[in-house]
Amino acid sequence: MLRLERIGKIYPTGEVLRDVTWEVKAGDRIGLVGVNGAGKSTQLRIIAGLEEPSSGTVVKQGTPRIAYLQQEFDVDPARTVREELFQAFGEAAVVLQRKHAVEHEMAGEKAASDPDHLEELIHELGRLHERFEALHGYELDARIDKLLPTIGFTPEGAEQLVADFSGGWQMRIALGKILLQEPDLLLLDEPTNHLDVETIQWLEGYLLEQSAAIVVISHDRTFLDRVCTQIVETERGVSRTYLGNYSQHLEQKALEREASQAAFERQQKELAAQQAYIDRFRASATRSTQAKSREKLLEKVERIEAPRRPAPAAWWPT
């Protein structure tokens, strides 16, 4: 579906991404993790086409529909829930909004006292109605009716203002608006922020039922464990992919660190032994040639880097 190839990103304040390569396939549920400032949100914005990478490329198979739920989700508190959900449908939403405005104007004093103006409004309403039908507007409204119970709203609740609902319920509205676009790939940036436990559990269940591929940033370890089947970790500008959920990724990292530490210590021991031989016999009449030969070989040895300490736990999902 989509692959990031050697992505780099440099801002005026410095380099954020240096060598990021990973892919999203149909049905994947990927968690992006890393310390704050590691470039997780930057990667989502690059995938969504909101930012351009400084280097590398995003390779797409076909034209996947990508939807992005940002940390500050976009809902209008002055609209009803149904009106806000209808914003997912682009031109149809604009036509519907104008229809409502014309209908309101037809009931006003000016239309009542000015027959010509009323006639103009009637003709405009007819044109709007035809366009709304051409855009399958009534079918779109039926899709909203079908969606409402899956995001927890009753038909009566759909006629209430968005402002009447808490942040958690507004998140459901924002997510519903995105899902009405039927995306192939759903990008979620900290979707559990400021949600209560019940809403988080609802979101987990809802995402597990989705057919769209999902890439999510979250500091909620339990959420990542329940939702994700892969983890992409970005550290010092470089990405690494791990199969499994967040806890399984930690286990794999611990094993990698142990293996790297053991390999580093073995090499250090061998290097020290070779250096001791060289130091001892460099000036020897009988073994100086061997010592110099070993010294040349030692210079060509590719050094194993000492394993880096993991980033402070306080900056990782808990």
42-59 pLDDT tens trace: 999 999 999 999 999 999
Residue 146 placed within a domain: yes
Strands of the sheet containing 238-243, edge to edge, are: 55-60, 2-11, 14-24, 238-243, 230-235, 29-33, 213-217, 185-189, 66-69
Range of the domain at 149: 81-157
SS3 150: helix
Do 181 and 294 have their domain in common? no
Do 117 and 67 have their domain in common? no
How far is it, in rounded angstroms, from Cα 113 to Cα 294? 105
What confidence score (pLDDT) does residue 295 get?
A: 86
Do 64 and 169 have their domain in common? yes
Mean of the per-residue pLDDT values for the chain? 90
What confidence score (pLDDT) does residue 154 get?
A: 94
Do 127 and 274 have their domain in common? no
Do 141 and 103 have their domain in common? yes
User: pTM for the whole thing?
Assistant: 0.77
Beta strands (DSSP E) in 34-113 are: 55-60, 66-69
What confidence score (pLDDT) does residue 91 get?
A: 92
Beta strands (DSSP E) in 174-296 are: 185-189, 213-217, 230-235, 238-243
Residue 140 placed within a domain: yes
Residue 27 placed within a domain: yes
What confidence score (pLDDT) does residue 181 get?
A: 87
Do 118 and 135 have their domain in common? yes
End-of-domain residue from the set 189, 215, 247: 247
State both tokens at 312: 């402070």
Do 90 and 229 have their domain in common? no
Number of domains within the chain: 3
The CATH code of the domain that includes 206 is 3.40.50.300
Residue 257 placed within a domain: no
Looking at this protein, which amino acid is placed at residue 71? Q
End-of-domain residue from the set 215, 247, 279: 247
Do 231 and 281 have their domain in common? no
pLDDT along the chain (318 residues), means of 10: 96 94 96 93 95 96 91 87 93 91 90 88 93 91 91 93 92 89 93 84 89 94 95 94 94 87 88 88 82 87 79 53
Do 56 and 196 have their domain in common? yes
Residue 278 placed within a domain: yes
What confidence score (pLDDT) does residue 314 get?
A: 41
Residue 117 placed within a domain: yes
Residue 38 placed within a domain: yes
Do 140 and 278 have their domain in common? no
Do 233 and 279 have their domain in common? no
Residues β-bridged to residue 60: 2
End-of-domain residue from the set 157, 182, 197: 157
Do 124 and 97 have their domain in common? yes
What confidence score (pLDDT) does residue 179 get?
A: 86
Residue 252 placed within a domain: no
What confidence score (pLDDT) does residue 313 get?
A: 47
